[in-house]
């Protein structure tokens, strides 16, 4: 059996590290930083802000006292801006991006748009159901991505 070979060796020029700002994503951001440095690649950190009803319903309980929808959306946008600014400050070599939409497809869309060669993401996120092998966003991206995906488990403790 012959093995198909690529014409040229793969190169990593741009790494996409998506984050939901959870501890589960943090190790992935660190791996993204190390891997992009090793390849001398550009690093893009992305948050996809899910303003759909399902996304908003999955929020932690602090949000249970629902203000009017417009106010809630304004608050979420402001909070996202604050969180991504913290990421930008902690990872000064990375470019940071926020996109509004559905996280799993948003990550794949941005990967294509920025020309990423590799995605580095957590196995778990904000929902943090540790007994589930893979979070749903991670699973979808691994299943559908056309570029390699490095999944990183959160460090213990
Ligand atoms: N809204 C999001 N924007 C960007 N990246 C995300 C988002 N949600 C999840 N991710 C990425 O996917 C990883 C796994 O999260 P997810 O599959 O949602 O697990 P969980 O079900 O535990 O929340 C996160 O560590 C992060 O890298
Ligand atoms: Mg999640």
Closest by CA position to 35, among listed 122, 118, 93:
118
Q: For residue 123, give the ligand 1 atom closest to its CA.
A: 14
Q: How confident is the model at residue 127, as a pLDDT?
A: 82
80: its two tokens = 């996202």
Low-confidence stretches of the chain (pLDDT beneath 70): 1-6, 53-54, 56-68, 157
Residue of the CA atom closest to atom 16 of ligand 1: 135
Q: How confident is the model at residue 144, as a pLDDT?
A: 98
Q: How confident is the model at residue 1, as a pLDDT?
A: 56
Q: Are strands 118-122 and 14-18 parallel, antiparallel or unpaired?
A: parallel
Q: How confident is the model at residue 89, as a pLDDT?
A: 98
Q: How confident is the model at residue 3, as a pLDDT?
A: 64
Count of Cβ atoms closer than 10 Å to residue 150 Cβ: 15
37: its two tokens = 């440095």
Torsion of CA 142, 110, 54, 139, to 10 degrees: 0
Probe ligand 1: pick from 58, 83, 138, max atoms within 8 Å of CB?
A: 138
Probe ligand 1: pick from 16, 17, 24, 155, max atoms within 8 Å of CB?
A: 24
DSSP E strand stretches across the chain: 14-18, 42-49, 95-100, 118-122, 149-152
Q: Could you give the CA distance from residue 127 to residue 53 in angstroms, rounded to a whole number?
A: 16
97: its two tokens = 């991006």
Widest distance between CA atoms in the chain:
63
Q: How confident is the model at residue 49, as a pLDDT?
A: 97
Q: How confident is the model at residue 72, as a pLDDT?
A: 85
Tell me if residue 82 falls in helix, strand or coil: helix
- Read off the pLDDT of residues 22-55 as tens digits, 9 standing for 90 and up: 999 999 999 999 999 999 999 999 999 998 866 7
């Amino acid at each position: 059996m012959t093995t198909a070979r690529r014409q040229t060796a793969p190169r990593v020029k741009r790494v996409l590290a998506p984050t939901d700002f959870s501890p589960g994503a943090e190790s992935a951001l660190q791996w993204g930083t190390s891997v992009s440095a090793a390849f001398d690649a550009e690093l893009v950190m992305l948050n996809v802000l899910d303003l759909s009803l399902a996304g908003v319903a999955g929020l932690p309980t602090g949000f249970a006292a629902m203000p009017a929808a417009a106010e809630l959306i304004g608050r979420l946008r402001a909070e996202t801006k604050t969180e991504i600014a913290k990421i930008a400050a902690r990872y000064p070599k990375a470019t940071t991006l926020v996109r509004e939409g559905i996280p799993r497809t948003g990550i794949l869309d941005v990967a294509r748009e920025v020309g990423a060669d590799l995605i580095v993401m957590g196995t778990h996120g904000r929902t943090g159901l540790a007994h589930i092998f893979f979070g749903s966003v991670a699973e979808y991206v691994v299943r559908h991505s056309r570029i390699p995906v490095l999944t990183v488990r959160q460090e213990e403790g």
